[in-house]
Amino acid sequence: MRRVAIIGGGPAGLMAAEVLAATPSGIAAVNGLEVAIFDAMPSVGRKFLIAGKGGMNITHSEDLSAFKARYGKRQSQLAGLLDVFGPDQLRDWIHHLGIETFVGTSGRVFPTEMKAAPLLRAWLHRLREQGVHFHVRHRWLGWQGNAGDGSDGGDGRLRFATPSGEALFEADAVILALGGGSWAKLGSDGAWVPLLAERGVPVAPLKPSNCGFDVDWSAHFSQRFAGQPVKSVIASIGACTQQGEFNITASGIEGGLIYALSAPLRDTLASAGRAALSLDLAPGRSLARLTAELSRPQGRDSLANHLRRRVGIDGVKAGLLRELCPPAALTAASSLAAAIKALPLPVTATRPIDEAISTAGGVIFEALDPALMLKDMPGVFCAGEMLDWEAPTGGYLLTGCLASGRAAGLGAKAWLDAAST
C-alpha cells in the first residue's frame, strides 16, 4: 500500500486528498493508496470556517480572463490551474456536495445558506467515506534525518509533535498545504518556512496581503471617526484604481477597498519608504462642477455647512479634508475642489502580518515543476497559500487554493503511478 501524507487541513489540502482518494468505488484503497491528512489544530478547516463566518464567498462569476488577471504578477502560473478548475468547475463541485449557490449583485458567488460550516461538513463526510484518514493535533516538525538521505542517522520519515510525544510517519509522497503566515491562532503561522529553507527550498519572504495600514491620525480625528465607514470613493495608487468603501480605525485604515489595493500600496511603501492613496471623495462629480458649486457665496455658512449643502461632503469625508489638507487649501474653491477629487492619504506601515486576511510570498513557482512538485525534492508537492501568489478577497483566494490543491493531488497520483511502473 502506497502512502500519501498531506500536511495541512485547509481547502488546498482537503482538495488534494479528494483527488487522490477519488475512485469509481469511492474508496482510496482501491487505488492502492492510503491518504492521510495531518493538521496541527484540533480540527481541520478552521481558517476556512472563520473566513466564511460573515458570508461564505466561494468564487466570482466574472469572465475567466478577468478572473485570472486578479492574480497579478503570478497570473501566468495560476492561469493553467484555473483553466482546469476555475469558478465554473468549483461551483459544479460544490453542487455535487449538495450545496446550492447563487450569484450576488457584486458578481460574487455564495452558498445559498451563506455559511461555510454546511459545506465543510459535507466535504469531510465524503472524504471519510472515501477512506481518507485524519490526524489532528499533529504539528509538522520536518523530516527525520538530513535531506532524507540518512547521512545523520535519519530515514527521511515525517516528524510530528503530538500530545503524546513525537510521532514518525513514512510516506511515499508528501503534499505540503500549510497555508501562509496570517491567522496564527488558526494554524496558519508560517512555521514551515525554516523547515523548507534548511532543505534549500527557495521561499520568498511572507508579507501581509489583503491587510490594513497605519496612518498618523491626529488624536482628535482618531477619537471622533474610528470605526466609521468612508463610502462611495475611488482610491488610486499608481496605475491601480478601485471604487468602493473602507473603514477608519484608531490607528489607520482597513476594509474592502484598502484590501483590493494592498499589494501596490505595500510594495510602494517597501520600495520607496513612503506611499499614499489618492482619494476621490465625490466620484459622481467632475472637478469643474465641484469648483463651480464651491464658488457660490458661502454667506454665513460654516465650511462644514457649505461642503454639505453645495457638494454633499460631510461627516467623515469632511473630517478627512480637515485632517489631510493644509488649512490654506480649504479657503479657496479651486483648491478645495481639487482636494476632494484627489486627496492624498499617506500610510506609514502595513498592519502586522497576523492581522492580514492572507499573505504574499512563499515557495516560488520556479522551484516547482508543472505538477507543483519541488524540483529538488522528488515526491514532495506544494499547494495553496504557501505558494508565492496573492489575490484580492472576493472568492479569488479560495479558488486559487482549491485549484492548486487539485493540481498537487493529481501530480502526486501521476508521480506515484510513474514510480511504480
Specify whether the CB–CB gap between 9 and 39 falls below 8 A: yes
- Kindly calculate the radius of gyration of the chain based on its CA atoms and give it in whole angstroms: 25
Q: Among the residues of 130-261, which ranges form H helices?
A: 192-197, 219-225, 256-260
Q: Which of the pair, 32 or 237, is modelled with greater confidence?
A: 237
User: How far from 364 is each of 27, 222, 373, CA to CA, in Å?
Assistant: 34, 40, 12
pLDDT digit string (tens) for 267-288?
999 999 999 999 999 998 999 9
pLDDT band at 30 (very low <50, low <70, confident <90, very high): low
Residue 168 has pLDDT above 80, yes or no: yes
pLDDT band at 27 (very low <50, low <70, confident <90, very high): low
User: How far from 229 is each of 66, 316, 324, CA to CA, in Å?
Assistant: 28, 8, 17
Question: What is the average pLDDT score of the chain?
Answer: 92
pLDDT band at 238 (very low <50, low <70, confident <90, very high): very high
Q: Give the model's pLDDT for residue 54.
A: 67
For β-strands 203-209 and 358-363, DSSP reports them as antiparallel
Q: Give the model's pLDDT for residue 23.
A: 65
Domain 2-208+359-419, CATH class in plain words: alpha beta
Give the up-direction half-sphere exposure of residue 239: CA atoms within 13 A in the CB hemisphere.
1
- pTM, full prediction: 0.91
Indicate the domain borders of the chain: 2-208+359-419, 213-350
What is residue 235's three-state secondary structure? strand
Q: Give the model's pLDDT for residue 28.
A: 59
pLDDT band at 148 (very low <50, low <70, confident <90, very high): very low
Domain 213-350, CATH class in plain words: mainly beta
Mean pLDDT, range 119-143, rounded to an integer: 96
pLDDT digit string (tens) for 334-391?
999 999 999 999 999 999 999 999 999 999 999 999 999 999 999 999 999 999 999 9
Residue 48 has pLDDT above 80, yes or no: yes
Mean pLDDT, range 101-116, rounded to an integer: 92
pLDDT band at 151 (very low <50, low <70, confident <90, very high): very low
Q: Give the model's pLDDT for residue 26.
A: 57
Residue 29 has pLDDT above 90, yes or no: no
Burial 180-195 (b: 16+ CB within 10 A, else e): bbbbeebbbbbebbeb
Residue 333 has pLDDT above 60, yes or no: yes
Cell of 349: 506601515
Q: Report which of 99, 104, 128, 127 is spatially closest to residue 115, judged by C-alpha positions.
A: 99
Q: Give the model's pLDDT for residue 147.
A: 47
Mean pLDDT, range 297-309, rounded to an integer: 85
Q: Give the model's pLDDT for residue 199.
A: 94
pLDDT band at 299 (very low <50, low <70, confident <90, very high): confident
Mean pLDDT, range 165-179, rounded to an integer: 97
Least trusted range by pLDDT, from 21-25, 55-59, 140-144, 317-321 = 21-25
